[in-house]
Chains A and B, each alone.
Chain A
């Protein structure tokens, strides 16, 4: 099962390596990981996507909580959370495919952020499923380079997760 887990940590050097080291040391998967400071500058928030059965996910959240620098771990349930990621894609665009790339970009509300006679670079934001749908449509047209932030996640409703 795919899980998106948010980890609130002390914004100090070495914390990310503790989190990543935990995953590699215990053989847990990381599909993606993103980290940045929060509105409270003393805190950073890591969003990571991992996979495992119920028992593994329970171990992952417990082991994360055990780290001294980890303040809170939230294993978001998909129906109670909003996930977004951003991708930058460089696509070949010559002759007849130039129009097709633009049509796909338009459908997914992606922005063209760089143009050359041979390529378009698109910026797209959205739920991971939507973004990957766009990427799959672009792939046969000549996907040259893909950069993704990996998902970030926030809970639905008025309640905020703080330290």
Chain B
């Protein structure tokens, strides 16, 4: 039977296991939406802005591990997706974005709502496709999903002209695809892995440095097994939080610019750094020349371009992180001393780290007169479900969440790490809640970032997405203000959000519940009430206005040059 392109697209999504999509209709996707009207197998959620739709698909993908799907119309709809796509690209999130395009005959004519979205998204997608013939559509969709979820995952955009949506052809969905230019290395080289394990077992002061790749590869359990087997302490990047339980005694927490004192000291003094699914971002390394100066570096990554991009590497292993970790564990059992012996051998190193932990634990100065933002984060952890999902926006609250929440499971922190996109949090939480209707989902934001996508309150209420919104309100663009305080002589140029917004009324205007805490003793009460209230709740906490995120390694300084909390 012949189907039109719009229907074929939906059939392809169904066969890829997609049951939830986020999209915004418009002139060049109206045919697609017409098919969607009677296509009951897919739930469609209408955001209030295409950027939020893409962030929602991104949050859905981060939380569920599935490919997130978003739809936008041509021209402005498509250009509105860019920030969302670039966010996903920087954090390697598997997504397929479908944009409408003007009819093929009009492409290049400056037609109404035409944008060269293939050209525009070339540098921020893993790959993109313009479908010129309906006969190619099914194969392109198969390729798009395959590329998005394999190797180092990433967003793939499919641009679908209106006439291709209307044209008909026989539908046949290919079982598999062959792309001769795309053959990601999955299996780690056994000889390299053997060498690595032998090298690691020789080390006196090893540290494992974990990035988001471990979470993307669903390798958290394997990571814990390897770390325990070899007795090695673990530090994670922002993207890696949750891959290793932070309540474990061998956890060093976050490293880098706002990392813990002991993580940064451990990395700066280690003789062996095992980087797994991480890419040596500048926020992690600080000054490259003095990063891990005494260490041999083993680097495991599925993307060969990540290796030796920023730092020298003594032993590279290209492959799927999970496969490599499984093999490492096997090799360790074959060649090495047992776990007890490994632990004993590293006892002096662990003692050295424990001294650092005692000397400068992760801390802040509590207050009785004003709510400290860090305190709110700690209380959120204490009063939320153990498997709660936390999305963040970008800025100070994001770092406090990373420092003080204490993540213990993968895919429970959803945060824009690479691009640092303000406005990400609320729609990402919305997407995660759509993926897990029965789990507790909260978003921690600042008053600045919240306002960048607050229109999504409407989507959340309309779709009964039970998101709990936490606003740490300091009436500042806090992170920039902090830099201005430290490096620009307190010249607060355009960082004071001078208009005090009534967030409770705002929530109520959209049909959500609004709560507010202005005193320390109200914090628990508001959090408890917020979590107990059915439906979306906005909880505003008026926090200490000029609180800083500490420790802090100034940009371009070495990791040991931390400004500490006390």
Known: A21-B122, A25-B123, A68-B147. A62 touches B304 (CB 8 A): yes
> In this complex, what residue of B is CB-closest to A42?
B180
Measured between C-beta atoms, what is the minimum distance from B44 to chain A in Å?
Answer: 29
Instruction: With CB as the reference atom, state the residue of chain B lying closest to A13.
Output: B130
Closest Cβ of chain B: how far from A52's Cβ, in Å? 13
Which single residue of chain A is at the shortest CB-CB distance from B156?
A68
Q: Contacts A68-B127, A68-B181 given: A14-B118 contact, CB under 8 Å?
A: yes
Encoded as 1 (CB less than 8 Å from any A CB) or 0, chain B from 110 to 136 comes to 000000001100110011001000000
Shortest distance from the beta carbon of A101 to any chain B beta carbon, whole Å: 45
Give the distance to chain A from B434, nearest Cβ to Cβ, in Å: 29
**Cβ of A119 < 8 Å from any Cβ of B?**
no
Say if the beta carbon of B182 comes within 8 Å of chain A. yes
Within 8 A of B (CB), among A30-68: 55, 58-59, 62-63, 65-68
In Å, the complex CA distance between A71 and B182 comes to: 8
Which one of B127, B130, B179, B304 contacts A65 once the chains associate, using CB atoms below 8 Å? B304
Q: Which residues of the partner chain B approach A62 to less than 8 Å between Cβ atoms?
A: 304-305
Whether the pair A21, B181 counts as a contact (CB closer than 8 A) is no
User: In the complex, which residue of chain B has the Cβ closest to the Cβ of A69?
Assistant: B181
Whether A18 is near chain B, meaning CB under 8 Å from some CB there, is yes
A19 to chain B, nearest CB (A): 11
A17 at the interface (CB under 8 A from B): yes
Q: How far is the CB of A35 from chain B (nearest CB, A)?
A: 16
- Interface size, B (range): 10 to 19
Q: Which residues of A contact B182 (CB under 8 A)?
A: 68
CA distance A62 to B304 in the complex (A): 7
What 1/0 mask marks residues of chain A from 16 to 30 whose CB sits below 8 Å from any chain B CB? 011001000100000
Distance, CA A66 to CA B303, complexed state (A): 8
Question: Per a CB cutoff under 8 Å, which of B119, B180, B308 touches A58?
Answer: B308
Is B122's CB under 8 angstroms from A18's CB?
yes
- Taking the nearest CB of chain B, how far is it from the CB of A70, in angstroms? 5
> Complex formed: what's the CA distance from A66 to B127 in Å?
10
Chain B residues within 8 Å of A69, by CB: 181
Residues of A within 8 A of B308 (CB): 55, 58-59
Known: A58-B308, A62-B305. A67 touches B118 (CB 8 A): no
B122 close to A70 (CB less than 8 A): no
Contact with A along B268-308 (1 / 0, CB 8 A): 00000000000000000000000000000000000111001
Whether A67 lies near B181 (C-beta < 8 A) is: yes
Chain A positions 53 through 97: 1 when the CB is less than 8 Å from some CB of chain B, otherwise 0: 001001100110111111100000000000000000000000000
B124 → chain A closest CB, angstroms: 10
CA gap between A65 and B306 in the complex, in Å = 13
Q: Which A residues are CB-close (under 8 A) to B529?
A: none
Contact status of A68 and B179, CB under 8 A, knowing A14-B118, A17-B119, A18-B122: yes
Residues of chain A within 8 A of B119, CB atoms compared: 17
Of the residues A21, A67, A163, contact of B180 by C-beta under 8 Å? A163
* B289 nearest CB across to chain A (Å): 14
Q: How far is the CB of B147 from chain A (nearest CB, A)?
A: 6
A95-109: which residues lie under 8 A (CB-CB) from chain B? none
- Besides A14-B122, A18-B122, 19 more A-B contacts (Cβ < 8 Å) are A14-B130, A17-B119, A21-B123, A25-B123, A55-B308, A59-B308, A59-B309, A65-B304, A66-B303, A66-B304, A67-B181, A68-B126, A68-B127, A68-B147, A68-B179, A68-B181, A69-B181, A71-B181, A163-B180
The 4 closest A-B pairs by CB, nearest first: A62-B305, A68-B127, A71-B181, A68-B182
